[in-house]
Chain A
Amino acid sequence: MVTAAQVWEALAEIPDPEIPVISLVDLGVVREVEVDAGHVRVDFTPTFLGCPALETMRIAIAEQIRALGAEPQVNVCLDDSWSTDRITPAGRAKLRASGFAPPAPRTAGAPTLLQLQSNVHRCPYCGSTDTRLENVFGPTPCRSLRYCGSCRQPFEQFKTI
């Protein structure tokens, strides 16, 4: 009989469809796993609501659970329970190693232009904080574009939400 720990392990093997260096578990989108006599319920939260990878993730989760010989039920939670703060330390390290700056911690209020222009954002290549905002938006809605003044490398910054 499949256990919750086995399900978590299996889900940790699913790469994020858009940033395959990290897994869905690293990303923190799997909120709950409940196992009941061969039935597995997974609650997961979208990162961004318009994320085109949503359906791909849902299918991948269901497939992994079927591969364990269990019947999946995958629920998408449309609430505010996911935040970039849920990306695990291991996930952050993997992002950095691939040239993505991990998101800054979420603050009490909404993000502001001042924050985006501040020097809390570190270049994932050289570690300098001498970086500037190039574009609030990037290749996907979850990323911004920044430029490092120190090593002169443009890089993608995970938005804080």
Chain B
Amino acid sequence: MNEQDARSLLEIADDELVLGWRDSEWTGIAPFLEEDVAFSSIAQNEIGHARALYELVAREHGTTADELAFDRAPDTYRCTQLVELRLMEWEKTIARHYLYETADGLRLERLKESSDPEIAGLAAKIDREEAYHRIHAQMWFDRLQNEPRFTAALQDLWLLAQAVVPDDLRPQFAARMGLSTESGSEPQSRTEHTAEFPELWEEMTVVRRSQPAGTRW
């Protein structure tokens, strides 16, 4: 695995970990039971994908998946701002879900073509699970596509969503969404985080930080 591959996998892993965390916030409080179940499963899958991706990178860097997930300083995470936001309005959560799953699908299609068989194999496995996230997101899009609050949320999050895919996939992402990339602004870089991120990091790592390094759980 070359350095560029390791960096890309780490970006995706950070996205999946943080989005899994945010999605899990619907456990117990979704608008109805089916969605409580769906978002809990989706969150579980995303964190599972993060773990597997971290493991590949960890083998390369001589560290562990847990250390990559929880022992880094907050400013070294490479997740996009889209996944960091705490969105407790349903239409915004669904808009993010639809944007993210579409972008993630494009990113995985490319990763499946990697010349590194380990990366291509893991990407193919992840994609089989993600197919069900895309189906779920599509069902919600079909239901909400004419709701003004939902379409406004899509517009609000669109610029942030573009940062999920590599630059050269943006036109394809825009075409798939039926949206334009010409807003005059550039998507935020993965090195810049939202004001909400440090708080999320605090919460996400608090249990692990409560014990001395190297503790086995």
Binding site for B on A (CB under 8 A): 46, 48-52, 78-83, 110-113, 116, 134-141, 145, 159, 161
CB distance from B21 to the nearest CB of A (A): 13
Q: Are B132 and A159 in contact (CB under 8 A)?
A: yes
Report if B196 contacts A (CB, 8 A): no
Report if B29 contacts A (CB, 8 A): no
23 A–B pairs (Cβ distance < 8 Å), ordered by A = A48-B48, A48-B129, A49-B45, A49-B129, A50-B46, A50-B47, A52-B44, A78-B118, A79-B118, A79-B124, A80-B125, A80-B128, A81-B121, A110-B127, A111-B131, A111-B135, A135-B38, A136-B136, A138-B41, A141-B44, A159-B132, A161-B128, A161-B131
Chain B residue contacts of A50, Cβ below 8 A: 44-49, 51, 129
Report if B103 contacts A (CB, 8 A): no
8 additional contacts, CB 8 Å, given A46-B48, A136-B132? A50-B45, A78-B52, A79-B125, A80-B128, A111-B135, A113-B135, A113-B139, A136-B135
Most buried by A among B34, B51, B135, B139: B135
From A135, which residue of chain B is reached at the shortest CB distance?
B34
Report if B37 contacts A (CB, 8 A): yes
Mark B80-121 against chain A: 1 for CB-CB distance below 8 A, else 0. 000000000000000000000000000000000000011001
